Structure 1
Amino acid sequence: MPCWIRPIQNLAIPLSELQLKGILKTYDSDGDGKLSREELRSAFKSLGLHFSGWRARRAVGHADRNGDGVISEEEMGELVKYAASKWGFTIA
């Protein structure tokens, strides 16, 4: 499933859902296997998204099914789908 990300340089880079998950996981700075709102903010900012803090809050609010304030491995798929539907990523 390709995913198209349009970074700041306006170059389209095709990524699969699995690759996008892998990129997001690299921002797990404390190594707990979960993504906090701050870690997501950093990830979104690096992907060229404006208002990355606001987007991170919205993403956690949507994808955090158990309400613990972080995105776990089990919730990562929902996060990627949400980001794709809201912010121009295309997963085919």
Structure 2
Amino acid sequence: MPMTEEQLKGILRRFDTNGDGKISRRELRVGLRNLGLRFAGFRARRSLRHADANGDGVISEEEMNELAKYVSKWGISII
């Protein structure tokens, strides 16, 4: 079922389990695994490398758009 970019970002924001406003590689891996995606560790590592513009090792709110665009390439439909 297609979803909007905002809906996808809402799902990704839920991966922030410690509530610090940032998504770590571990949080991303666990979240992707919980969505049922295969190769969650690999995807998390690649996603972080792609979307982490400032290189601090986490995805901040400012970097969330890039993460959503990258994740949408995996067959998650965005309208």
Deviation of the 1:53 alpha carbon: 0.7
Larger helix share, 1 or 2: 2
SS across alignment from 1:82: helix
Does 2:28 match 1:28? no
- The structure number with the bigger radius of gyration is 1
Gaps of 5+ in 1: 1-12
Larger strand share, 1 or 2: 1
Aligned residues: 79
Rounded to whole Å, the distance in 2 between the matches of 1:24 and 1:82 is 12
Sequence identity (%) = 61
Structure 1 segments, 4+ long, off by >3 Å, are: none
Does 2:37 match 1:49? yes
Distance 1:30 1:36, change over 3 A: same
Counterpart pick for 1:67 among 55, 60, 63? 55
